[in-house]
Chain A
Amino acid sequence: MKVPLTDAAPSSSHLPSGFWIWLELFWIFLKTNLLTSSGPASVGLLYKYVVGNFMTEPEFVEAVGFSNFLPGSEALKLAMFIGFDAGGYPGTAAALLGAILPPTVSMLVVMLVLQNFQNQPWVHGFIQGMVPAVAMLISVAAWKLFRGGKSIRTRPLVIAALSLIAFILGAPTPLVLLGSGLLGIFLFP
């Protein structure tokens, strides 16, 4: 489905033609979040739908970079950033709604189905098989996050070591995270 964009300049959000932009934003984020299972995985698909259509490539790069550097779900931040650029506050709301529907609805359905099949041996086996793979998925994601595409430098290593010690000593996790963030601000560059 392609919503016509004929005379809809991005600046004319006060005109009825803005409606089509909001609808298209909703549809793009619904589609993207139906076809991918996490924020980072959706970037490639979004690029295809959005660049040249709603925003330029540098703007898109800024949106992705920015959603890496604020707390919270990446998919939602991407949706809001692109929605705002393309359609102001209504665009933000439309994109956000599109992005939030797939995870909530799919999870609800699975939970309801799961309740009925909970005691089937194959469900148990399926989950048991997935767990080691999920553990590795998390480990690899941790490694990629830590590397961040750069060579490893002293500061992250110092913070990692300090937080490991703090966790082993049983310090409250949110405090350790806050502390490591503050170290990031004040520790040598």
Chain B
Amino acid sequence: MGILLSLFWLFLKVNLLSTSGISSVGLLHQEAVGKIITEEQFAQAVSFSSVLPGSEAEKLAMFVGLRVAGMPGALISLLGSSLPPIILMLGVFMILRRLQRETWVTRFVEGLIPAVAVLMLYAAYGLLTGGTGPVNWRVLTVAAVSLIAFIFDAPPPLVLIAAGLVGIFFFK
């Protein structure tokens, strides 16, 4: 029961403090890795969330929840990650109706963004150095090539699947 509650709280918190799936990766890394999941499991969670169809925040929650506490864990994490946007949007419909953006919300999120970006870089660094083992020239090559692909706006799922295929044939 304790673990289910902490999963719920974790994803509630993570989704209240970030504005999309990929931007929640930094906070999730800080809050979960080394506590309830390993760096390698985190790497799997983010990899699959980036490739599979649908909203990333929900996939991350399902993966982590299922790993940590089976099916009940997956459902409770899904609930925790979905509640913040659902309740906030319903609030917007009911209270602001044909809303004008509240300036303090806008400014809060504007302030949040630089810190979220720093956290994401932290998580990326953690994945690169501790995700699957020692950093070697193969890892750096895949990183460099995919960085170039992303800079040229290649579709992320395609790049990731290609990188995975490279992994099958060239990593060990």
Contact = CB atoms under 8 A, between A and B. Distances in A.
Given A72-B57, A130-B163, A141 B120 contact: yes
B139 A156 contact: no
A108 B123 contact: no
Interface string A155-173: 1110110011001000001
A140 B151 contact: yes
A133 B172 CA distance: 17
Instruction: Give chain A's interface secondary structure class.
Output: helix
Q: Chain B: interface residue count, which band? A: 35 or more
A66 interface: yes
Contacts of A94: none
- Most chain A Cβ neighbours within 10 Å, of B16, B93, B157, B163: B163
Interface in A69-123: 69-77, 80-81, 84, 89, 92, 96, 99-104, 106-108, 110-111, 114, 121-122
A76 to B, nearest CB: 4
Q: Chain A: interface residue count, which band? A: 35 or more
A127 interface: yes
B95 to A, nearest CB: 13
A136 B123 CA distance: 10
A125 B171 contact: yes
Contacts of B6: none
Given A138-B127, A142-B124, A176-B115, A74 B82 contact: no
Of all A-B residue pairs in the complex, the 4 with the closest CB atoms, nearest first, are: A184-B111, A129-B167, A103-B54, A72-B85
